[in-house]
Amino acid sequence: MQALYSAPETLIRTPSHYCPGCGHGIAHRLLAEIIDEWGIRGKTIGLAPVGCSVLAYNYLDIDMCEAAHGRPPAIATGIKRVHPDNIVFTYQGDGDLAAIGMAEIVHAASRAENITVIFINNAIYGMTNGQLAPTTLLNQRTTTTPEGRDPLAHGYPIRICELLATLEGTSFLARTSLSSPKNVSQTKEALKKGFKTQIEKKGFSLIEVLSPCPVYWRMSPVESLKFIEEEMTQTFPLGVFKDWEKAISAPGGQATKV
């Protein structure tokens, strides 16, 4: 009998600590598949953040480094400068990347640091019990915005791809989602493009992945996927914001549909 589908080698077989319906596990799996398909296990170094994916190294059988909250881009810079021919990626949540780590991500991008950033936007702080994130939608209820996010009190959501698209240092920026099989496979293509950008030494790449957190969105996993498609993409449109190969550059704005 022929196996048509099996778990990637790089994905360590161990019970998952993620909640049912969480997007992190899917994103890990996509990474493991690409590492296998491209045979880059021996060259790849990953950075795990502080957030629900703090234990990402429990699932990926590659050299990995823990990072303090928000600092993966700085640590990745230090690693990449020592090993410029390795593939170095950071894996970060929205609190990690767009709140406490905003300076590090903006400056790594502006330096055109030749790293790949996987940005898991679930519009919430998962690990610390569902507080407001910089990417929380307007009116979205969180534990620290129990009445919903009010722009006058809590500010507006931050669009990272659009923000970074204004920087000359960025080479590939895309926003994808995990809301459907089609979107999952587009996420995988975008991740591949991010790694390709790095391997060809084209500079900074970031893939923002809209990802479900059913637990703190207080929804079922299925409702969460619907929420991404119907609500989240209103604020965070999917698409490619920068692509060095296709000369797509959209400073401050419009995504190009993929």
Partner 1 sequence: MKSSNNKKHLLTGNEAAAEAAILAGCRHYYGYPITPQNELINHMAIRMPQVGGTFLQAESEIAAIYMAYGGAAAGARVMTSSSGPGISLMQEGISYLAGSELPCVIVNVQRGGPGLGDISPSQADYFQAVKGGGHGDYHNIVLAPASAQEIADLVYDAFDLADRYRNPVMLLGDAQLGQMMEPVEFRKTPRTHQTVKRWALTGAEGRARNIVKSFYPVKGELETFNIRLQRKYRAIEHEEVRYEEVNTQGAEIILVAYGTCARICKEAIRRASGTGLQIGLLRPITLWPFPKEPLRRLAKKARAFCVVEMSAGQMVEDVRLAVLDRCPVHFYGRMGGGVPSSREVLKKVLNILAPEGTLELEIPEIPTELGKGLYFSTIP
Q: Print the SS3 string covering 56-94.
A: HHHCECCEEEECCCCCHHHHHHHHHHHCCCCEEEEEEEH
**CB nearer to partner 1: pick between 114 and 142:** 114
| Among 124, 164, 248, 255, interactor with ligand TPP by CB under 6 A | 124
How many angstroms separate the Cα of 174 from the Cα of each of 25, 151, 169, 233? 20, 26, 15, 13
Q: Taking CB under 8 A as the rule, does residue 54 contact partner 1?
A: yes
Q: Taking CB under 6 A as the rule, does residue 238 contact ligand SF4?
A: no
Q: Is residue 53 classed as helix, strand or coil in its secondary structure?
A: helix
Site for ligand SF4 in 118-137 (CB under 6 A): 122, 126
Q: Is residue 46 classed as helix, strand or coil in its secondary structure?
A: strand
What's the closest the beta carbon of residue 173 comes to Mg ion, in angstroms?
19
From 78-86, 152-160, 178-186, 228-236, span contacting partner 1 (CB under 8 A):
78-86
From 41-49, 73-81, 85-93, 244-252, span contacting Mg ion (CB under 5 A):
85-93
Provide the b/e sequence for 32-45 (b: ≥16 CB within 10 Å).
bbbbbeeebbebbb
The residue type of 6 is S
**CB nearer to ligand TPP: pick between 69 and 192:** 69
What, of partner 1, ligand TPP, ligand SF4, none, does residue 121 touch, CB below 5 to 8 Å by kind?
none
User: Are 51 and 34 contacting, i.e. CB atoms less than 8 angstroms apart?
Assistant: no
Binding site for ligand TPP (CB under 6 A): 50-53, 69, 93-96, 120, 122, 124-128, 133
